[in-house]
């Protein structure tokens, strides 16, 4: 056996995780057994975006056999508190609604049953009496003086407004040859891991302690938030994570409020409680990235060199500001000048609340929202000046000899050579060929565009960056926050095999494999002699607030601290071996499973024997600083200092570089994007495992492609949530993936133990805007927002070169609501043979109404003009019972009436008004005309949005056709509707 150890680090060894995961032996949260007697929770959620809860009648649910308890927000009020955010606003961010709901999907009650089926049965039996309030969905509308206010204690929807100034932006703008602004409305999306949230919790009243198992991903600063929300000290909250997690992408930070909710439910019920979220719950109410409205203005010269930036950011955090928000807005604070040497920056950051799901961590965290406007701006500057966008990017890049480089806003960029990366990407990515293809395509009249993005990818967050939201005075009062403690523990057992424990809480990235590589290299032993455990137990394992799996911190921080712990242990073992071999410790080599003398390989001890010495023969140990059995190392980088008095902050430790090139073509008819080539160049420092890095890049790219083209957490103007299934929230599949060219250059970080930087989030930051820049180039657009759906691009492509419709035709076009407005509108006529007076009396007759309202079980007349009914309605596959309430007004007997109605049920709610006119047809009959507007919310809107318009037309058509039959005549809708209904076998 040679004395050389061939390092595992840098090689794409097979993952130690995979054999178990491939054979069905994964241990995800729903795969672990529970204690006997564990109750299963189902959560009843708000169908309304904004409403008061007037009453909750849970008697029927409580009476259901198998239901152990029904708990509401009021029931948990005394044993829980809110989840305190970084900004002290008067927002009580509780895990369950108390007296008022503020977003669709907000928990209203929890049913605990002997199994999940029974718990869900219980939810169906709860009747909640709501009084709806006006909702506000748009962040700009939420800022208006007359906007509905979500939190009365705040008095307005704006919860933070900070202004920043770096360098001398006023002079730079005053002297600027050119200025240009872009305004971007960045939409909502989410990481949507394939595994949803899960929590299993129990409470021990003897010492007032909670044991919570949750597929939480960190940061563990949230442990303090959860403990506080449960009103126990930290050591009374034992938070554990399962061995495997089905993906997170930031999102599983958001399980924290449910940890509070389920833990409190366990305390109230006196039994362990388990809850596994379903997909509708996940899409509607887990967590979302922030949507943001940004206006970014640049001051630049005729060469496209940017002197100053002015950021105006309005961040929408949803209905409650929950810890760690508004972190999304501040994570990039040191990086607001991107890859560019821009010395003057002005910034205004506002945070508003709206009637949407509260926001939290999503892969890219704040990066997509920043790079979209920044890189759109660079492209716009180039187009405005008639320059090549690539040239404008290049002219503004930070010079290669400037590293480490302090940005205007305070980040310390560790290393890089952006110009080199750009050149390699252009060369190896075949840019010249793409440009030729664009020329050829355009010569044929095809819509081909090229987009570029340069982005700096921050990793290893400074735990103090969020305090930038506070003023310097507020920070001084609270005490400085900073750093990013990473930890690893290495244990030697009595046969000398090695166990590594970390608090990195992997969500599928392969941390256990890389740690085995790192530690095996330090000890010079085989990979399978190192076993790594990464399921965390806050009661027993080493951890700190920065623990967890976020801000791409693993390779840079956790692998590094594991290396440090191993190295410390190795140095002690060297002393042990040196004493036995009678050589100097520094002359020993750890390789090939042995500890050998460098000069005399025959003088050696097996590694396992040296490693076991402290267990069996402590008497042989030399004088050491601690026993070489277990070593726990903590590491925090000194560069991560607290924000200074001028609000400069080094928000992250490492700064990778990305340069993306995309060539694509837009189909002018369908609006579909065909990606011809996508090149993504990464400099993530030293690469520890090339295939895992590639996996991070490809996976991040796929998510970014989804965010750019397919995905949006959509809301109606009334706050109805409209994308509650994976058939509405479209994730890219294998057939949507283009070929991806992944390139690398390596500029090791001088600030991390192994020279590695994070790499997992970069494409989520760079790719959406790169695609948008290419689309803007293809279609010649000044402004384009996400998502780049085929419908949107087809419209833009058509508007680009098609003449306006001839006069007269446009006027006949159906009124089209603005995007996001899902109001159902329709009108039609029906002819009946009875005279208007007869039809009029039929409309006021409960018995007639019962026979003509589709699905009506019974109609009760509460007054001359007020009716109620129970109706069964189906929208696609979703059929449900609703209570209907109908009022007639503006009566003009027997000519016209206005009907206002609402329906409520477990599956959702709706409301609308219609105007009905009766005209004699001149031959004894009546022509009935109708026109309606309706809106639908709740579950039915979330899962059936695609089908609602058609369903409404069928139901209303059914009503008039039944009325016509009853009155002796034939109904008729609008011509096209009649034909469609006829084709579907429905007579209108």
- Interface residue list for other proteins (CB under 8 A): 8, 12-19, 21-26, 28, 30-31, 117, 191-196, 244-247, 249, 278-279, 507-510, 526-528, 691-692, 694-695, 697-703, 725-727, 731, 733-737, 740, 943
Beta carbons of 797 and 447 less than 8 angstroms apart: yes
- Burial tier of 923 (Cβ tally within 10 Å: 0-12, 13-18, 19+): exposed
Distance separating alpha carbons of residues 279 and 285, to the nearest angstrom: 10
Closest to 508 in 3D by CA, of 695, 682, 724? 695
3-state secondary structure of 868: strand
3-state DSSP call for residue 778? helix
CB of residue 26 to other proteins, shortest distance in Å = 5
Least distance in Å: CB of 726 to other proteins? 4
Smallest gap from Cβ 158 to other proteins, in A, equals 34
Separation of alpha carbons 367 and 769, rounded Å = 11
Give SS3 for 950: helix
Output the smallest distance, CB 727 to other proteins, in A: 6
Shortest Cβ distance from residue 221 to other proteins (Å)?
A: 24
Contact 611, 620 (CB under 8 A): no
CB 607 within 8 Å of CB 570 = no
Q: How far is the CB of 245 from other proteins (least distance, A)?
A: 6
CA 972 to chain centre: 47
**DSSP code of residue 703:** H
Judge contact between 213 and 321, C-beta under 8 A: no
698/744 with CB nearer other proteins: 698
Q: Is the peptide bond before 141 cis (omega within 30 degrees of 0)?
A: no
Work out how close the CB of 408 gets to other proteins at its nearest, in angstroms, rounded to a whole number. 35
Distance between CA atoms of residues 680 and 743, nearest Å: 6
SS3 content of the chain, % helix, strand, coil (to 5): 30, 30, 40
- CA pair distance 398, 416, nearest whole angstrom: 9
Nearest to 771, CA basis, from 757, 798, 744, 792: 792
410 and 464 Cβ atoms separated by less than 8 Å: no
Q: Which is nearer to other proteins, 251 or 382 (CB)?
A: 251
- CA pair distance 379, 953, nearest whole angstrom: 45
Minimum distance from residue 549 beta carbon to other proteins (Å): 11
Residue 365 Cβ vs other proteins, minimum distance, rounded to whole Å: 16
Q: Rounded to the nearest whole angstrom, what is the least distance from the CB of residue 515 to other proteins in the complex?
A: 14
Question: Rounded to an integer, what distance in angstroms lies between the CA atom of residue 202 and that of residue 197?
Answer: 17
| Closer of 278 and 423 to other proteins (Cβ) | 278
Which is nearer to other proteins, 496 or 506 (by Cβ)? 506
Q: Least CB distance from residue 115 to other proteins, whole Å?
A: 8
- Which residue's CB is nearer to other proteins, number 12 or number 62? 12
Distance CA(42)–CA(107), nearest Å, equals 10
Q: Specify the residue, 404 or 738, whose C-beta has the smaller distance to other proteins.
A: 738
- CB nearer other proteins, residue 106 or residue 728: 728
User: Which residue number, 295 or 529, has a Cβ lying nearer to other proteins?
Assistant: 529
In terms of CB distance, is 675 or 871 closer to other proteins? 675
Q: Closer CB to other proteins, residue 74 or residue 691?
A: 691
Residue 379 or 513 with smaller CB distance to other proteins: 513
- Least distance (Å) from other proteins to the CB of residue 189? 12
Rounding to the nearest 10 degrees, give the CA dihedral for residues 944, 949, 952, 957: -140
Give Dmax (Cα) for the chain. 120
CA angle (653, 654, 658) in 5-degree steps: 150
Is residue 151 a contact partner of residue 145, using CB atoms and an 8 Å limit?
A: no
| Nearest to other proteins of 334, 732 (CB atom) | 732
Question: Which CB sits closer to other proteins, 25 or 442?
Answer: 25
Output the smallest distance, CB 516 to other proteins, in A: 9
The answer to whether 633 and 558 have CB atoms below 8 angstroms apart is no
Side by side, which strands form the sheet with 447-461? Answer: 447-461, 652-666, 673-683, 740-744
For residues 72 and 217, which CB has a smaller minimum distance to other proteins in the complex? 217
Please state, in angstroms and as integers, the Cα–Cα distance from residue 283 to each residue in 83, 195, 262, 845, following that order. Answer: 21, 12, 19, 43
Q: How far is the CB of 114 from other proteins (least distance, A)?
A: 12
Closest approach, Cβ 275 to other proteins, in A, equals 14
Q: Which run of H or E residues covers position 448?
A: strand 447-461
Contact 831, 927 (CB under 8 A): yes
Question: Cβ 233 to other proteins, closest distance in Å?
Answer: 33
Q: What is residue 169's three-state secondary structure? A: helix
Asked if residue 61 lies in contact with residue 67, where contact means CB atoms within 8 angstroms, the answer is: yes
Choice between 194 and 646, CB closer to other proteins: 194
Taking the C-alpha atoms of residue 569 and residue 393, their distance in angstroms, rounded to an integer, is 47
**How far are the Cα atoms of 170, 334, 642, 746 from residue 343, in angstroms, in the given order?**
12, 12, 21, 26
CB 294 within 8 A of CB 347: no
Residue 119 C-beta: closest distance to other proteins, Å: 13
Q: Which is nearer to other proteins, 127 or 694 (CB)?
A: 694
Q: Which is nearer to other proteins, 279 or 672 (CB)?
A: 279
């Amino acid at each position: 056996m040679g004395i050389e150890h061939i390092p595992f680090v840098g090689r794409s060894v097979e993952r130690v995780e995979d054999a178990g995961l491939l054979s069905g032996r994964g241990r995800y949260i729903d795969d672990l057994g529970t204690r006997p007697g564990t109750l299963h929770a189902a959560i009843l959620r708000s169908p309304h975006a904004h409403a008061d809860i007037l009453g909750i009648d849970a008697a029927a649910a409580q009476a259901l056999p198998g239901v152990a308890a029904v708990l509401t927000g009021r029931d948990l009020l005394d044993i829980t508190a809110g989840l305190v955010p970084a900004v002290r606003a008067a927002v009580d961010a509780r895990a369950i609604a108390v007296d008022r709901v503020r977003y669709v999907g907000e928990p209203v009650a929890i049913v605990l049953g002997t199994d999940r089926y029974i718990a869900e049965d219980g939810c169906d039996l709860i009747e909640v009496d709501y009084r709806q309030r006006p909702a506000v969905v748009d962040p700009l509308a939420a800022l208006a003086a007359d906007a509905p206010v979500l939190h009365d204690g705040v008095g307005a929807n704006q919860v933070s407004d900070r202004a920043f100034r770096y360098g001398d932006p006023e002079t730079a703008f005053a002297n600027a040859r050119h200025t240009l602004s872009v305004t971007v409305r960045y939409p909502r999306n989410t990481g949507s891991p394939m595994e949803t949230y899960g929590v299993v919790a129990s409470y021990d009243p003897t010492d007032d302690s909670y044991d919570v198992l949750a597929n939480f991903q960190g940061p563990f600063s949230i442990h303090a938030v959860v403990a506080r929300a449960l009103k126990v000290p930290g050591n009374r909250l034992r938070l554990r994570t399962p061995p495997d997690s089905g993906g997170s992408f930031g999102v599983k930070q958001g399980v924290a409020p449910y940890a509070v909710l389920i833990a409190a439910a366990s305390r109230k019920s006196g039994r362990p409680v388990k809850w596994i979220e379903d997909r509708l719950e996940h899409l509607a109410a887990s967590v979302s990235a922030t949507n943001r409205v940004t206006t970014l203005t640049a001051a630049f010269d005729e060469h496209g060199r940017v002197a100053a930036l002015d950021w105006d950011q309005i961040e929408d955090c949803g209905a409650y500001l929950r810890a760690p928000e508004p972190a999304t807005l501040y994570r990039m604070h040191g990086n607001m000048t991107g890859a560019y040497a821009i010395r003057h920056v002005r910034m205004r950051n506002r945070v508003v609340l709206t009637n949407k799901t509260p926001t939290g961590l999503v892969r890219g965290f704040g990066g997509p929202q920043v790079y979209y406007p920044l890189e759109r701006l660079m492209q716009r500057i180039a187009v405005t000046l008639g320059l090549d966008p690539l040239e404008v990017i290049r002219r503004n890049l930070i010079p290669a000899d400037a590293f480490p480089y302090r940005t205007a806003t305070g980040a310390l960029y560790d290393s890089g050579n952006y110009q080199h990366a750009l050149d390699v990407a252009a060369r190896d990515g075949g840019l010249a060929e793409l440009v030729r293809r664009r020329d050829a395509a355009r010569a044929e009249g095809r819509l081909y565009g090229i987009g570029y993005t340069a982005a700096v990818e921050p990793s290893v967050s400074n735990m103090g960056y969020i305090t930038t939201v506070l003023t310097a005075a507020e920070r001084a009062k609270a005490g400085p926050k900073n750093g990013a403690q990473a930890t690893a523990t290495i244990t030697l057992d009595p046969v000398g095999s090695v166990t590594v424990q970390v608090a990195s809480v992997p969500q599928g990235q392969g941390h256990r494999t890389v740690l085995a590589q790192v530690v095996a290299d330090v000890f010079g032993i085989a990979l399978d002699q190192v076993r790594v455990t990464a399921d965390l137990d806050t009661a027993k394992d080493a951890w700190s607030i920065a623990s967890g799996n976020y801000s791409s911190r693993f390779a840079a921080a956790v692998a590094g601290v594991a290396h440090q712990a191993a190295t410390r242990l190795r140095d002690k073992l060297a002393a042990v071996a040196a004493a036995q071999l009678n050589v100097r410790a520094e002359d020993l080599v750890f390789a090939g499973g042995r500890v050998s003398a460098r000069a005399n390989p025959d003088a050696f001890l097996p590694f396992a024997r040296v490693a076991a010495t402290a267990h069996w023969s402590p008497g042989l140990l030399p004088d050491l600083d601690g026993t070489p059995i277990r070593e726990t190392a903590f590491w925090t980088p000194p560069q991560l200092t607290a924000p200074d008095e001028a609000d400069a902050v080094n928000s992250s430790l490492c700064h990778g570089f990305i340069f993306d090139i995309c060539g694509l073509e837009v189909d002018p008819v369908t609006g579909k994007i065909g990606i011809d080539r996508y090149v993504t160049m990464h400099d993530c420092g030293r690469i520890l495992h090339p295939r895992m890095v590639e996996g991070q890049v490809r996976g991040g790219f796929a998510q970014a492609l989804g965010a750019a083209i397919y995905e949006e957490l959509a809301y109606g103007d009334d706050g109805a949530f409209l994308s509650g299934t994976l058939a509405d929230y479209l994730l890219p599949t294998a057939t949507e993936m283009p070929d991806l060219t992944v390139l690398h250059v390596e500029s090791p970080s001088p600030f991390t133990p192994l020279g590695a930087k994070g790499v997992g989030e970069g494409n989520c930051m760079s790719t959406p805007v790169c695609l948008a820049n290419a689309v803007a180039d293809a279609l010649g657009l000044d402004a384009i927002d996400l998502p780049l759906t085929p419908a949107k691009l087809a419209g833009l492509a058509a508007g680009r070169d098609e003449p306006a419709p001839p006069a007269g035709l446009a006027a006949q076009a159906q009124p089209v609501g603005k995007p996001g407005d899902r109001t159902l509108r329709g009108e039609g006529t029906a002819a009946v043979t009875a005279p208007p007076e007869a039809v009029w009396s039929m409309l006021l007759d409960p018995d007639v109404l019962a026979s003509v309202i589709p699905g009506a079980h019974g109609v009760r007349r509460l007054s001359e003009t007020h009716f109620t009914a129970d109706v069964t309605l189906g929208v696609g596959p979703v059929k449900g019972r609703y209570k209907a309430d109908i009022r007639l007004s503006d009566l003009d007997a027997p000519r016209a009436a206005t009907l206002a109605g609402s329906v409520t049920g477990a599956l959702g709610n709706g409301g609308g008004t219609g105007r009905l006119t009766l005209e004699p047809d001149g031959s004894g009959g009546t022509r009935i005309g109708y026109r309606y507007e309706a809106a639908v919310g709740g579950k039915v809107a979330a899962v059936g949005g695609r089908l609602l318009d058609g369903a409404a037309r069928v139901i209303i058509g059914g009503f008039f056709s039944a009325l016509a039959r009853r009155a002796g005549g034939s109904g008729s809708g609008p011509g096209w509707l009649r034909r469609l209904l006829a084709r579907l076998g429905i007579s209108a």
